[in-house]
Structure 1
Amino acid sequence: MKTFFQELKNRRVYRVAITYVIAGSATVQVVGTVLPIFHAPDWVQQVFVALVAFGFPVALVLAWCFDLEDGAIKMTCGDGRAVVTSRRVWILAGVGLLVAGSALTGYWLWHPWKRLSDAASMSSDTLSAPPVIEKSIAVLPFENLSDDKQNAYFADGVQDEILTDLAKVADLKVISRTSVMQYKTSAQRNLREIAKALGVAHILEGTVQRAGGRIRVSAQLIDARTDMHLWAERYDRDLADVFGIESELAQQIVSQLKSKLSAREKAAIEQKPTADLAAHDLYIRAKTLIASSALSTPQAESLLEAVHLLNQAVERDPAFARAYYQLAEAHDLLYLQGIDHTPARLAMADGAIQSLARLRPNSGEAHLAFAKHFYWCYHDYDRAREELTLAQKSLPNDPLPFQLAGYIDRRQGRWPESIKNLERAIELDPQNSAFLEQIARSYECLRRYVDAERALDRAIALVPKDAAMRARRAEIELHWHADARPLMSTIQAIIAKDSREGKNIAELWLYGLLCERDFDGALRALAALPIDGCHQETILFPRVWCGGIVARMRGDTASARAAFTSARNELAKLVREQPAYAEALCALGMADAALGHKEDAIREGRRAAELLPVAKDAIVGPLLVQNLALIYAWTGEKDLALEQLSIAAKLPGYLSYGQLRLHPYWDPLRGDPRFEKVVASLAPK
């Protein structure tokens, strides 16, 4: 055997083996990078890897049997330097095959092509434009030609009603209002490009002119693929007949596109929303505020102003069903977001929905309002889903039922179904950056950070000036690779350009500074923080709590204790009024933990997790488990903390490698091998 190994050395078999492994590995990596660029099928890469692997034993045998001497290849298997038998050649070939087989098995289990396929799937399914169908249309914002520019809301209302009417036609694909509103201020519209971006074949555009008691509406239908004008009409009527114009126009479009219109759909289109134009103006203004409230800082102001406007609208016209729909949504959002999570606000939402149901008991809007209400305010997902099924029959082109179904699926831990429904919502509303941001959140919870980045990249392409969206995109690196630098450099660039944007990104700014342990710098972010405070989904921490965290990190014990005490008093009042409010109990438990009230903190944290377990809410539930781990850690119960943390790390959710590596919240557990093991389990693979 010793002679055999000496022969391997003499014949340079070792050198050939090492050279082949290095060259083969490099070649496989290059091919794995290049082939996807040319969209080569997966099997091409798989066959190439197999050929490289099984070339290894061939190279060993050739190295044994041949040598390079004086620039010529000579056969050495039968020379006089050693007795070489066929048995040794077979041994060498067998060893080579074993090594090749092991390498190929390991590579197959790693299956990089499957990961590439998964990522490509998201790109093609979610980010690529869907195929354009013939009966598809986008209704662009109508231009206001009135001398009084205050009538801009009126022009918006005309477009909104036409779009709402068309969206009820099941035989049409109609793009949602959110996606078309970005073209409101376009000086010169490139209809072909707009249609391509929205995934439609046809565009409707028009003008509105209101003067005294008269109105003129002009509209034209265009095949955006050929720029051919298919139909145009001008309506000169009394102002009181504006809703009749909108109904006629919608039915003309249905006819021009040769779409089927059922008797039920025709009746729904012909039904006037209100007889009071002033009430309708109030309604349109409120609807705009609610739609933009998610991006408003503070959010409460937009929602409360919308409630004020809608109350005026229904006071003017108590039979205005759509105003009650928007009013219910505003009350629901105030309750859901913890801005006014009180029985009184819930009762207001109940009252608005009951009024809507009384006026339009079988309408799609009524079913959709009930679905939101059951989901947002009662966590009654089954009843919400029943209402959504009914809503979709009357609102086939409305993305909201699909969006809401995606949210409900997500709360129930049905992640594949959630992604599918959110993708359908994006198809109906392709320019809606909020939908893209939400699907990115889903990918973050699944720790599919590549997919999250892609979704946010597309959102930023739609709203490049949105500071919060840019910061969210940069935050991915913090969670994925425990690198806060991209987030902080992005935020610094945003604030350097416009310091007023600080309030819109204050939470992320504060989070990044805490992770970088720049506690003095955190004071600037704290000063920019809105009165709403800090959020973990629907878990709301008072602004003073955030100040307490910064003070503690800076070593200002007295200020920290005063801040935590103030926050505790605020949260305790909320819990006394609503003892089953899980999110408030969780925040109260953390405040008590920060103050050293061990028994109270643990009781409150446990109770919160019991009230809203993961099985009932797969988004907030894991956060309550994670925060219970923090409560245990802060009160010295390290074993219990690690037990809860291990559970949270195995669940889809916002707990990340970067958070555990960097955030000072977890300092009490650092250095414990069990904690480091949990951290390593979330590390990028």
Structure 2
Amino acid sequence: MIPRNFFSELKRRNIYRAAVLYGMGAWLLAQIATQIFPFFNVPNSAVRFVIIALILGFPIAMVLSWLFELTPEGVVRTEDVDVATQRAFGRKIDFGIIGVLLLVIVMLIYQRLPFRSESGEAIPEKSIAVLPFANFSDDKENAFFADGIQDDILTSLAQIGGLRVISRSSVIQFRDTAVRNLREIGKTLGVANVLEGSVRRAGDRVVINVQLIDALHDRHLWANRYDRPLVDSLGLQGELAAEIADALRVALNPEEKARVEKKPTNNADAYVLYLRANQIERNPDTLLEDYKKAEELYLHAIALDPKFALAHARLASTRAAIFHYFEPLDSWKAGARAEAEMALRLQENLAEAHLALGHCIYWIDQDYDRALAEFDIAGRLAPNNSEVGGLVAAIKRRQGKWQESLHTYERINKLDPQNPNIVRNLLFTQTALRHWPEAARTAERMRAMAPASLVAK
């Protein structure tokens, strides 16, 4: 068969129409697989199987289209269909194809429209908020464990430079939200993706369910369920962070991968004590007696695992905070420095250890340049840690470097947009620099967050 006759025969047998229909159907099935399968905890390998099957099915579909024809009377062999019937029915198929193609084009354009935050900024695709995890344990006192798992996932994700991660203080407001409008949450927090989860702890067994959702389109990107003994769950936050990064197509460099996947401890009891202490210490309304209770729990955790670097680091920061805010005693000063240095000896690339040493140098020694050096290391190890940025901005302002302070506050405001302390400091710095239009907009945000605040009035 000469080429001209071959292509004419392809047209007569509606092979082109069949190819378009198959392509559209395959695309639709692939979309269903990628969006629906995670919801039912179907592994990603099943999605790959569907896509491979669709690719392999294409030549088979084309062969069947060559041999058979779809007519108003049903499927018949192509040789038995007259040309007029083929053309008439083919035109009806064309109209259907055009209609579906228009819908596909509209959908694709809609999916590529920039998603904007409440401030009007285009939201980056590789951004995420980890919402408070639901506590499904029979013992409701295990709420600290659900909070701790969420916080550890945030800590692990904060180490990934290619991802914007919203801080805990901005997502905590969504803990008790009965009905979550994820699109609105995404706009409020300035993220394209949201991670939801639940934790059930019974004795030494832990069940964690998580699902990653595209907040703009309210579609599931990835989900998983982990049912393990507690002792086997100690490195779960790093495992989860790596899987989330993979689902969002964020590449980890070797150093990030090693830090994210490192287990904080191998002692389950020490880990539980650490989570209890962490919940107490990070409460925004923490009082002196709360800090002392957290210190006691950190000490118990360290007694069970003396090489628990993260517990040493948090203990150092707790003691430095007690010295700075409540009791400027030499015992707190010496104890804080000793624990920070121990944390660094155990794990020199631990962001929290450099943060703790920075706390000691800034709050206790008041040596701004040396504190900045430690905070700079902590910021490079955990680029999404807004606490580090807040400390840097405060020091820059004390040094009279107001413009640098402003840039830092603007950066961390994107990581912690619902933190009134950051917004308050941003407003104060803008006002001092006489950036009146920006200050007016920030004051409006401050009034919305804290209507009773005198700063915003």
TM-score > 0.5 by shorter chain: yes
Task: Confirm whether residue 388 of structure 1 aligns to residue 375 of structure 2.
Answer: yes
TM-score normalised according to structure 2 size: 0.69
- 2:245 and 2:251 in contact (8 A); partners too: yes
- 1:127 and 1:458 in contact (8 A); partners too: no
The residue aligned with 2:219 is 228
What is the CA–CA distance in structure 1 between the aligned matches of 2:147 and 2:260, rounded to whole Å? 18
Match among 396, 407, 432 for residue 420 of structure 1: 407
Instruction: Give how far 1:229 is off.
Output: 0.7
Instruction: Give how far 1:255 is off.
Output: 0.8
The residue aligned with 2:248 is 257
The residue aligned with 2:454 is 472
Higher mean C-alpha deviation, range 351-360 or range 126-135 = 126-135
The residue aligned with 1:406 is 393
Cα pair distance change 1:448/1:345, threshold 3 Å: farther
- 2:270 and 2:300 in contact (8 A); partners too: yes
The residue aligned with 1:279 is 270
Instruction: Give how far 1:471 is off.
Output: 4.3
What is the CA–CA distance in structure 1 between the aligned matches of 2:261 and 2:282, rounded to whole Å? 26
Match among 318, 321, 325 for residue 306 of structure 2: 318
Question: Once the two structures are superposed, what CA deviation does each residue of 1:217-244 show, in whole Å capped at 9, x if it has no partner?
Answer: 1111111110111111112222211124
Larger radius of gyration: 1
- 2:213 and 2:221 in contact (8 A); partners too: yes
The residue aligned with 2:289 is 301
Unmatched runs of 5 consecutive residues or more in structure 2? 1-116
The residue aligned with 1:344 is 331
Instruction: Give how far 1:192 is off.
Output: 0.7
Matches within 5 A, 1:105-124: none
Cα pair distance change 1:176/1:231, threshold 3 Å: same
- 2:337 and 2:357 in contact (8 A); partners too: no
- 2:118 and 2:190 in contact (8 A); partners too: no
- 2:264 and 2:308 in contact (8 A); partners too: yes
The residue aligned with 2:319 is 331
The residue aligned with 1:195 is 186
Higher mean C-alpha deviation, range 384-393 or range 221-230 = 384-393
Task: Confirm whether residue 363 of structure 1 aligns to residue 345 of structure 2.
Answer: no
Question: Once the two structures are superposed, what CA deviation does each residue of 1:187-208 show, in whole Å capped at 9, x if it has no partner?
Answer: 1111111111111111111111
Instruction: Give how far 1:441 is off.
Output: 4.0
Give the alignment's Cα RMSD to 1 decimal: 2.4
What is the CA–CA distance in structure 2 between the aligned matches of 1:371 and 1:269, rounded to whole Å? 22
Instruction: Give how far 1:455 is off.
Output: 3.8
- 2:158 and 2:384 in contact (8 A); partners too: yes
Give the aligned residue type for 2:410. E
Instruction: Give how far 1:408 is off.
Output: 0.9
Question: Once the two structures are superposed, what CA deviation does each residue of 1:115-173 show, in whole Å capped at 9, x if it has no partner?
Answer: xxxxxxxxxxx993532111111111111111111111111111112221111111111
Instruction: Give how far 1:250 is off.
Output: 1.7
What is the CA–CA distance in structure 2 between the aligned matches of 1:182 and 1:283, rounded to whole Å? 23
TM-score normalised according to structure 1 size: 0.47
The residue aligned with 1:134 is 125
**Alignment identity in percent?**
43
Matched residue SS, 2:255: helix
Task: Confirm whether residue 206 of structure 1 aligns to residue 182 of structure 2.
Answer: no
Higher RCO (Cα < 8 Å, 6 or more apart): 2
The residue aligned with 2:59 is none
- 2:273 and 2:301 in contact (8 A); partners too: yes
Cα pair distance change 1:448/1:307, threshold 3 Å: farther
- 1:422 and 1:439 in contact (8 A); partners too: yes
- 2:274 and 2:301 in contact (8 A); partners too: yes
What is the CA–CA distance in structure 2 between the aligned matches of 1:453 and 1:290, rounded to whole Å? 34
Cα pair distance change 1:191/1:391, threshold 3 Å: same
Matched residue SS, 2:217: coil
Cα pair distance change 1:336/1:446, threshold 3 Å: farther
Matched residue SS, 1:247: helix
Task: Confirm whether residue 431 of structure 1 aligns to residue 422 of structure 2.
Answer: no
What is the CA–CA distance in structure 1 between the aligned matches of 2:271 and 2:329, rounded to whole Å? 29
Cα pair distance change 1:445/1:215, threshold 3 Å: same
Cα pair distance change 1:282/1:439, threshold 3 Å: farther
The residue aligned with 2:148 is 157
What is the CA–CA distance in structure 1 between the aligned matches of 2:402 and 2:279, rounded to whole Å? 31
Question: Once the two structures are superposed, what CA deviation does each residue of 1:3-28 show, in whole Å capped at 9, x if it has no partner?
Answer: xxxxxxxxxxxxxxxxxxxxxxxxxx
Question: Once the two structures are superposed, what CA deviation does each residue of 1:587-642 show, in whole Å capped at 9, x if it has no partner?
Answer: xxxxxxxxxxxxxxxxxxxxxxxxxxxxxxxxxxxxxxxxxxxxxxxxxxxxxxxx
What is the CA–CA distance in structure 2 between the aligned matches of 1:240 and 1:284, rounded to whole Å? 14
What is the CA–CA distance in structure 1 between the aligned matches of 2:445 and 2:250, rounded to whole Å? 32
Cα pair distance change 1:302/1:453, threshold 3 Å: farther
Cα pair distance change 1:463/1:301, threshold 3 Å: farther
Aligned residues: 341
What is the CA–CA distance in structure 2 between the aligned matches of 1:404 and 1:414, rounded to whole Å? 14
- 2:291 and 2:322 in contact (8 A); partners too: yes
Task: Confirm whether residue 216 of structure 1 aligns to residue 203 of structure 2.
Answer: no
Question: Once the two structures are superposed, what CA deviation does each residue of 1:27-84 show, in whole Å capped at 9, x if it has no partner?
Answer: xxxxxxxxxxxxxxxxxxxxxxxxxxxxxxxxxxxxxxxxxxxxxxxxxxxxxxxxxx
